[in-house]
Structure 1
Amino acid sequence: MSGLPGSGKSTLLRRWAEAALVIDPRVVHVACESVMPTWLPYAVYRPWARWRYFRWLRTAVRGGAPLLVHDCGGRPWMRRWLAGHAGPRGRELHLVLLDVGVAEALAGQAARGRWAPRRAFARHRRGLDRLLRTFSGSGEVAPTRGPVREVASVVLLDRGSRERVSTVEFGSRPARP
């Protein structure tokens, strides 16, 4: 699940949580924050939080069950890493991409009362813009091995379609003759 901070990734993942384990870095951020002194800025312990997040993610990927992974979308190396670990385990990587626009993402941040720092938001925006430029037009479900080679499919959701998608289902594809 990729999109700008405030685009609704965590909300959508919570809605889909019955289908699979949700790996959300915010969970680790909150856990780390709870054991740190209140005067210590997140930037100081962010490397530790990220290490814990990647360790959790690696353990979950090795577990073999379906996962829903929260990611900003601007890190191609993360998709390559996930695909590289999913493929040998007989699993596919699918990308759900939230393209709600900057204004909607900023409104989402305001609604939750939590803001991504300006530089971080700009970095996420550049990465997501790069990812979106790999696609021509929009679509509901786009099978791909072209623009984003490491994923089996891409689901592009705007604000309206994000609200209408209530569940996700994982299952095996029928065997091909």
Structure 2
Amino acid sequence: MPGRPALPVRGHRAKRTAPVVRDLRERAGRSPHALVFGARDLVVVTGLPGSGKSTFMDRAVHGIRVDSQHARDRWAARLPRLLPYVLYRPAVRLAHYAGLRRALRTGGGVAVHDCGSQTWVRAWLAREARRRGGTLHLLLLDVTPDTALAGQQERGRGVSRYAFLRHRQATARLLRAVERGDLPDGCGSAVLLDRDAADALRRVSFTG
């Protein structure tokens, strides 16, 4: 990638340094084409429903990735098409977390899709990162609510108005905290991406 070297992302370990925030929004075509994390690190990809998290992960993440949307798609393929998702959502969530647990047992780097409203998941991942001697990182896709709603319509899978409001509130709180350098407990770094920066990233990988 001439002129666009990979951007290594390092957060704090033990007592070393404060968390790092890298804001790649509004870079006018100057965003890096790759992010490189440590071999034992965990990366949480978060943002509004419809912001493009699954598309981004499928395209850019090189390594183990755990996406709740994949679990939903597998269950939907086996069940009657007209069966409402709300009826089998608990089974999808259990399957997703079971798959995440298996991925974490490998000991290698893992990228995880996060809906943003389940803060206990990030706490779990932070503990796991510390246990394995790695760092937890956030990749936060910052898009407008209108863009996210358009993304839901495009994929044909929306969330309820109430659920979307909850996601908006949780994502807004997280974004404001990250912008002032106040990262969730156990998180070593955060990278803020708008749609252009996310599209520019061709590779998210782990060393080793």
Q: Would the TM-score normalized by the shorter structure come out above 0.5?
A: yes
Task: Determine the C-alpha separation between the residues in 2 that align with 1:14 and 1:99.
Answer: 18
1:160 CA displacement: 1.8
Alignment match of 1:129 (pick from 143, 147, 172): 172
- Which residues of structure 1 form unaligned runs of 5+? 138-143, 173-177
Alignment match of 2:52 (pick from 8, 20, 24): 8
**What's the C-alpha RMSD, in Å, of the aligned pairs?**
1.7
Judge conservation of contact 1:75–1:127 (CA < 8 Å) in 2. Answer: no
Matched, 1:157 2:193: yes
What SS does the corresponding residue of 2:130 show, helix, strand or coil?
Answer: helix
Query: Normalised by the size of structure 2, how large is the TM-score?
Result: 0.73
Judge conservation of contact 1:74–1:131 (CA < 8 Å) in 2. Answer: no
Higher-RCO chain (CA-CA 8 Å, sequence separation at least 6): 2
* Aligned twin of 2:10: none
Alignment match of 1:79 (pick from 103, 122, 131): 122
Q: How do residues 1-177 of structure 1 correspond to structure 2 at under 5 angstroms? A: 1-17=45-61, 19-136=62-179, 146-171=182-207
Q: Give the AA of the match of 1:124.
A: H
Please identify which structure carries the higher strand content: 2
What SS does the corresponding residue of 2:105 show, helix, strand or coil?
Answer: helix
Percent of pairs with identical residues: 43
Residue 75 to residue 40, structure 1, CA distance change in 2 (3 Å): same
Q: Give the AA of the match of 1:15.
A: R
Judge conservation of contact 2:178–2:190 (CA < 8 Å) in 1. Answer: no
What SS does the corresponding residue of 1:69 show, helix, strand or coil?
Answer: strand
Please identify which structure carries the higher helix content: 1
Judge conservation of contact 1:2–1:97 (CA < 8 Å) in 2. Answer: yes
Q: Which runs of 4+ in 1 moved over 4 A?
A: none
Q: How many residues align?
A: 164
